[in-house]
Amino acid sequence: MRLAPLVAPSPELGGDELARTARQRRLPELGEVGQRRLAASRVAVLGAGGLGAPALQYLAAAGVGTIGVIDADAVEPSNLHRQVIHGIGDVGERKTASAARSLRELAPDVTVIEHDERLDESNAATILGGYDLVLDGADNFATRYAVADACVALGLPLVWGSVLRFDAQLSVFWSSPPAPAEGVTLRDVFPEPPPAGSVPSCAEAGVLGALCGVVGSMMAVEAIKLVTGIGEVLLGRLLVVEALTMRVSELPLRAVAVGASAQASAAGSSEHTPQTSARSEAPARPQPPAPRDYDPVVDAGGHFVDVREPDEYAVDGLPGASSLPLSELLQLEHDPGSLTARLRRLADEGAGTEQATLNLYCVSATRARRAALLLAPLGIEVRVVQTPELNALRAPAGTASASSRESAAQNGASS
């Protein structure tokens, strides 16, 4: 289920950060607004180890503004095959300090808060209280349950991952997600920690380092989706990864009714088995009609709207055109009030045109068509400007052809 963005956007980004995140901001689902949400976010990562290391690196690289690193250990040689945020020269150093240095080198604008202490039930709520969400890459059950219980008390989403040998699990737990999503917590799935000594540690059973990289990166993806409100997060789903066969499966999860976990424990049958439930398939949505293409004769009186990102519009937007990035539309899709207000401002910008039709354009018409599909169900007359017609519109101004820019953009994107 797609959830509302967790964090409000920050003010405008600086030039260096704009350049560093340029390829990511090109994603219309994310765009500049999503990038600013990341810049305003505060994310706590428990453990700078096998899962925490790649998660920390990709969160910083993605542009998360504040990252808390929680770890009470020092770097050891046996960590280095999977904890790739550290190097051989960091052996003996505190993991929080080593990780913080690496993150600042990777993303100079990031604020790193070092929590060089062991998190437990006595301090978990205090440490985590100032963050928007938490990633759990801890290596022991006591800490995992302390974090999970604190997130329930604080109402924070928890991105949870686990790796042992060649197998891994990943999910998102949240006791109080926005409606209509239903909350699921760690204790709904695993009511109590396993008995001491019943589950081997990585030191005893071993762990594939590359699998830690895969799952830690997936945890970062889930955090990015939560912050920006894009995609469907793993809330209510448990992802299971079997590296030796490279099979990825999924189990639906549900909250356990009051008293159910006690009954399960008494039966001795499901103490550590995920509580799952079948999900009915949603009825297929009717497909909206395909938006019409712009006709230079019939639609010439419409208002032209550039659905590219603002920096693209600033370079070669059509004279008199308005800017309405597809990324902004995708962010406003689930906020009807804000979307209506934005469209009203757009109508004001287009005052004086002969028709209410919006002629949407980008370069290749791909983003314009997606924007048209979003706007048409609202009763707005939209047209999609295809590349030949866009080239014809640009020709009198003597600007470079759209097709040549598209070719250059594709060549640049492959680098």
- By annotation, the residues acting in catalysis are 202, 362
CA 262 from chain centre, in angstroms, equals 35
Bridge partners, 70 (sequence order) = 46, 115
Q: Is the Cβ–Cβ distance between 101 and 87 less than 8 Å?
A: no
| Burial class of residue 310 (count of CB atoms within 10 Å of its CB; 0-12, 13-18, 19+) | middle
Please tell me the distance from the alpha carbon of residue 105 to that of residue 290, in angstroms, as a whole number.
47
CA-to-CA separations, 371 to 254, 267, 326, 385, in angstroms, rounded: 35, 54, 6, 12
Pairing of strands 247-252, 237-242: antiparallel
Could you give the 3-state DSSP secondary structure of residue 205?
helix
Please tell me the distance from the alpha carbon of residue 23 to that of residue 5, in angstroms, as a whole number.
21
Please tell me the distance from the alpha carbon of residue 293 to that of residue 296, in angstroms, as a whole number.
10
Please tell me the distance from the alpha carbon of residue 57 to that of residue 18, in angstroms, as a whole number.
18
Q: Is the Cβ–Cβ distance between 214 and 241 less than 8 Å?
A: yes
Could you give the 3-state DSSP secondary structure of residue 405?
helix
CA angle 286, 302, 330 (to 5 degrees): 45
| Distinct helix (H) and strand (E) counts, the chain | 17, 13
Strand (E) positions, 73-192? 111-115, 133-136, 158-164, 167-173
